[in-house]
């Protein structure tokens, strides 16, 4: 039987607080982990909190990778959700453990979605050229004005 997706819940304890505090480094590590898993990256968004902590998301055509760091506890919570079975999420996990210098990792694997009763594979690998990126973010909160989404070119400028 095949699930629509695999969700890895990754607990990274006893990590380098210095790395977990560095926004650019955390973002680069998560983006590289997605690439190592052979994922198709669609969007990247990260935010640094004061006095410390980072939350970030790498949206991939096959689902997502997310992270929340607590450098003060030398801890990071990572989710890796991949649709189908063509990606290599465990390679991403191994990379994260190494790069965050994690001394006490644990991983829980959850199969998500409707299982195929016919033992039919569900690959879910999307071609990047078929992905349409949103032009405008609709803001449902009245206290903030609607703003156009940044294009990839604007983000790198």
**Residue 134, domain member (yes or no):** no
Per-residue pLDDT tens over the stretch 107-118: 999 988 866 666
Whether 66 is catalytic is: no
**Residue 45, domain member (yes or no):** yes
Out of 7, 15, 64, 83, which one is annotated catalytic? 83
Whether 68 is catalytic is: yes
User: Which residues 6+ apart lie within 8 Å of 129 measured at CB?
Assistant: none
Per-residue pLDDT tens over the stretch 69-79: 999 999 999 99
Place of tokens 């629509």: 4
3-state per-residue secondary structure call for the chain: CECCEEEEEEEEECCCHHHHCCHHHHHHHHHHHHHHCCCCEEEEEEEECCCCCEEEEEEECCEEEEEEEEHHHCEEEEEEEEECCCCCHHHHHHHHHHHCCCCEEEEEEEEECCCECCCCCCCCCCCHHHCCCCCEECCCCCCCCCEECCCHHHHHC
**Residue 136, domain member (yes or no):** no
pLDDT at 122: 54
**Residue 35, domain member (yes or no):** yes
Q: What residue numbers bound the domain in which 95 lies?
A: 5-126
pLDDT < 70 stretches in the chain: 1, 114-157
pLDDT at 143: 43
pLDDT at 57: 98
pLDDT at 4: 84
User: For position 68, which CATH number holds?
Assistant: 3.60.90.10
C-beta separation of 155 from 145 below 8 A: no
pTM for the predicted model, two decimal places: 0.73
**Residue 138, domain member (yes or no):** no
Out of 63, 64, 102, 141, which one is annotated catalytic? 63
CA 46 → CA 76, 81, 101, distances in Å?
A: 14, 17, 21
**Residue 121, domain member (yes or no):** yes
Q: How many domains does the chain have?
A: 1
**Residue 31, domain member (yes or no):** yes
User: Which residues 6+ apart lie within 8 Å of 154 measured at CB?
Assistant: none
**Residue 28, domain member (yes or no):** yes
């Amino acid at each position: 039987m095949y699930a629509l997706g695999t969700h890895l819940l990754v607990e990274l304890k006893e990590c380098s607080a210095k790395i977990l505090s560095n926004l650019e480094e955390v973002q680069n590590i998560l983006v590289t982990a997605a690439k190592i898993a052979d994922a198709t990256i669609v969007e990247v968004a990260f935010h640094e909190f004061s006095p410390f902590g980072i939350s970030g998301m790498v949206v991939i055509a096959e689902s997502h990778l997310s992270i929340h760091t607590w450098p003060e506890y030398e801890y990071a919570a990572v989710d890796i959700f991949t649709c189908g079975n063509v990606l290599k999420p465990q390679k991403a996990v191994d990379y994260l453990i190494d790069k965050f210098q994690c001394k006490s990792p644990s991983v829980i694997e959850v199969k998500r979605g409707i299982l195929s009763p016919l033992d039919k594979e569900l690959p879910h690998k999307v071609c990047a050229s078929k992905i349409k990126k949103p032009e405008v973010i609709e803001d449902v909160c009245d206290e903030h004005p609607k703003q156009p989404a940044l294009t990839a070119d604007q983000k790198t400028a």
